[in-house]
Chains A and B, each alone.
Chain A
Amino acid sequence: MRDAVLRAEEVQKSYDGLAVLRGVSIDVGRGEVKVIIGPSGSGKSTLLRCLALLEPVDSGAVWLEDARVSGVREKELAAHRSEVGMVFQRFNLFQNMTALGNVMCGLVEVRRLGKREARERAFEFLDRVGLRDKADTYPEELSGGQQQRVAIARALVMRPKAMLFDEPTSALDVELVREVLDVMEGLARDGMTMVVVSHELRFAHHVASSILMMDEGKIIEEAPPEQFFSSPSHERTRRFLALVE
């Protein structure tokens, strides 16, 4: 069996009696890029939050490599969270820190690295997203695309086992989408394990190992991009693709 980095088993989750995830299983192997698409309210973001260990699951289980990470105590959970990188739709950069401060934060506060070493590594990762010269700039003064790249660097610097992206480009102006997708494509090429909720179908086509279609709290179809786009087996997928294209 190939080794799975991140795995969800029959995950169920509801908010105030409203079932958002109704038995979802996903298995992300090392170096795989899974792109999740689906209409709003289908549970994509909730699934991602469960994988990022930000939401407890009602039933089912989440595994990070060999460790079962659902249903463990909050303190252990914090440690596990630092091993999964999460990138949000609205960037969520710490407003009171510079770009450099944002990238350093996890190293200093979670990994307990010294300031100097943290700074060096943070610079290295800012460089990787092409923003070394913005190190001393506060988020408010950066463009959306730049903010999202800093957010990616902030997650990457922790050397996560997997990266999760929750609609990373949907809050961006059209001309800023490319720079973020470029960074993500570079990551995929370098073999990063990724789960991406996105409707950037061209990106999905290029980069994804497989594409998952979610609807009403379930994964209704999973297939490699070629097959997914050319001959989707599910009627719901066909209708959705027709709308998104």
Chain B
Amino acid sequence: MLASFDTHIFWEALTSSPYWKGALLALELTFVSLATACAIGFFLALGRNSRFWWVRGFVFFYNWIFRATPTLLQLLFIWNALPQLWDAFAGSWFKPFLAAYIALSLNEAAYMSEIIRAGLLSVDPGQELAGRALGMTRPRILRRVIVPQAVRIIIPPTGNEFITLLKLTSLAFVISLHELLTAATVRATVAFRYLEAYTAAVVYYLVIVSVLMVVQAQLERRFTWKSARRRRRAPVPAVAHDAR
């Protein structure tokens, strides 16, 4: 027998302020963390191919640390251990949101650096060569030629990372950040209506991810280099071996 599903309780949970505030907070945290992670990840990706061994070494070490340890542990570390290590973080200004933001950004940067590196590597080396032949400097070639083309490759896995990160924000409830899962847990335990409380949270996550999928499709189209928005595959240009 299926137990009853109380639509009224469900609806009340769905429209309650802790829910949508929690969802908004989760979304905010995801956005700022991912944006920061992209920025850090970009430089980490460049650092991987640096001509200085210590830069390459640092990137390796960074990625190793942040990928080998649990995100939850990193979160707890930043929130609880960092203020003990460094007095400046012991003040009341150091809020759960900030701690979660730092932890998730640093963590995500390690993953983004690999994605961005793959994107940069996917651009035909002939593109950089042509830019150099024109007299463009390396930063300019990166900005005008390589990065725009790499973005096309980077978008889909970054969409994945967004989703992963959105769900990771729920970990932040252990450092008493009032995000969506906190709202659901609180509501569930108050009335012992787990079913309705959790289902309401499910709906929020589904809606957010669905919106993201639409945005991602738009972005991918934006970075497709065709004059018309035809989605046909263009013929592959004849490729001969590159004689030295």
- List A residues at the B interface (Cβ < 8 Å): 20, 40-41, 43-46, 52, 54, 75, 78-86, 88-98, 105-106, 109-110, 136-141, 144, 147, 151, 154-155, 158, 167, 170-173
- The reply to whether B243 and A45 contact each other, CB–CB distance below 8 Å, is yes
- The reply to whether B148 and A136 contact each other, CB–CB distance below 8 Å, is no
Within the complex, what minimum Cβ distance (angstroms) separates A55 from chain B? Answer: 10
Chain B contacts of A89 at CB under 8 A? 240, 242-243
- The reply to whether A88 and B126 contact each other, CB–CB distance below 8 Å, is yes
- The reply to whether B134 and A154 contact each other, CB–CB distance below 8 Å, is yes
The 10 closest A-B pairs by CB, nearest first: A82-B135, A92-B130, A86-B133, A92-B126, A171-B240, A106-B134, A81-B135, A110-B135, A96-B148, A138-B225
Chain B contacts of A158 at CB under 8 A? 134-135
- The reply to whether B134 and A105 contact each other, CB–CB distance below 8 Å, is yes
A94 with B239: in contact, given A81-B135, A137-B227 (CB under 8 Å)? no
6 contacts between A and B (CB under 8 A): A40-B243, A54-B132, A88-B129, A94-B131, A97-B225, A158-B135
- The reply to whether A138 and B135 contact each other, CB–CB distance below 8 Å, is no
A173 with B238: in contact, given A81-B135, A82-B135 (CB under 8 Å)? yes
| B244 contacts A by Cβ under 8 Å | yes
A90 with B242: in contact, given A81-B132, A81-B135, A105-B144 (CB under 8 Å)? yes
- The reply to whether A78 and B226 contact each other, CB–CB distance below 8 Å, is no
| B67 contacts A by Cβ under 8 Å | no
Give chain A's interface secondary structure class: loop
- The reply to whether A110 and B130 contact each other, CB–CB distance below 8 Å, is no
Within the complex, what minimum Cβ distance (angstroms) separates A145 from chain B? Answer: 11
- Which of A96, A139, A151, A172 has the largest count of B CB atoms less than 10 A from its CB? A96
| B145 contacts A by Cβ under 8 Å | yes
Chain B contacts of A136 at CB under 8 A? 227
| B70 contacts A by Cβ under 8 Å | no
Chain B contacts of A106 at CB under 8 A? 134-136
Within the complex, what minimum Cβ distance (angstroms) separates A73 from chain B? Answer: 12
When chains A and B are docked, how far (Å) is the Cα of A89 from the Cα of B124? 14
- The reply to whether A90 and B126 contact each other, CB–CB distance below 8 Å, is yes
When chains A and B are docked, how far (Å) is the Cα of A23 from the Cα of B154? 45
Chain A contacts of B136 at CB under 8 A? 78, 105-106, 109-110
| B234 contacts A by Cβ under 8 Å | yes
When chains A and B are docked, how far (Å) is the Cα of A38 from the Cα of B140? 36
**CB nearest neighbor in B for A170:** B240
Chain A contacts of B225 at CB under 8 A? 95-97, 138-140
Number of interface residues of B (CB under 8 A): 29
**CB nearest neighbor in B for A46:** B244
Chain B contacts of A110 at CB under 8 A? 134-136
* B212-244 interface with A by 8 A CB criterion: 223, 225-227, 234, 237-240, 242-244
Within the complex, what minimum Cβ distance (angstroms) separates B155 from chain A? Answer: 14
Chain B contacts of A139 at CB under 8 A? 225
Chain B contacts of A20 at CB under 8 A? 244
When chains A and B are docked, how far (Å) is the Cα of A84 from the Cα of B135? 9
| B17 contacts A by Cβ under 8 Å | no
- Which of A109, A110, A155 has the largest count of B CB atoms less than 10 A from its CB? A109
Within the complex, what minimum Cβ distance (angstroms) separates A3 from chain B? Answer: 23
Chain A contacts of B239 at CB under 8 A? 90, 171
Chain B contacts of A172 at CB under 8 A? 238
When chains A and B are docked, how far (Å) is the Cα of A173 from the Cα of B236? 13
A43 with B133: in contact, given A90-B126, A95-B127, A96-B148 (CB under 8 Å)? no
- Interface digits, B116-154 against A, CB 8 Å rule (1 contact, 0 not)? 000000001011011111111100100011001100000
When chains A and B are docked, how far (Å) is the Cα of A90 from the Cα of B132? 15
Chain A contacts of B234 at CB under 8 A? 140-141
When chains A and B are docked, how far (Å) is the Cα of A192 from the Cα of B109? 50
Chain B contacts of A147 at CB under 8 A? 237
When chains A and B are docked, how far (Å) is the Cα of A172 from the Cα of B98? 57
**CB nearest neighbor in B for A90:** B126
Within the complex, what minimum Cβ distance (angstroms) separates A160 from chain B? Answer: 10
Given contact pairs A40-B244, A89-B240, A155-B133, a sample of 18 additional A-B residue pairs in the complex whose CB atoms are under 8 Å apart: A41-B244, A45-B243, A75-B137, A78-B137, A84-B133, A88-B133, A91-B237, A92-B127, A95-B127, A96-B223, A109-B134, A110-B136, A138-B226, A140-B225, A141-B234, A144-B237, A144-B238, A167-B240
**CB nearest neighbor in B for A135:** B227
Chain A contacts of B240 at CB under 8 A? 89-90, 167, 170-171
Within the complex, what minimum Cβ distance (angstroms) separates A39 from chain B? Answer: 10
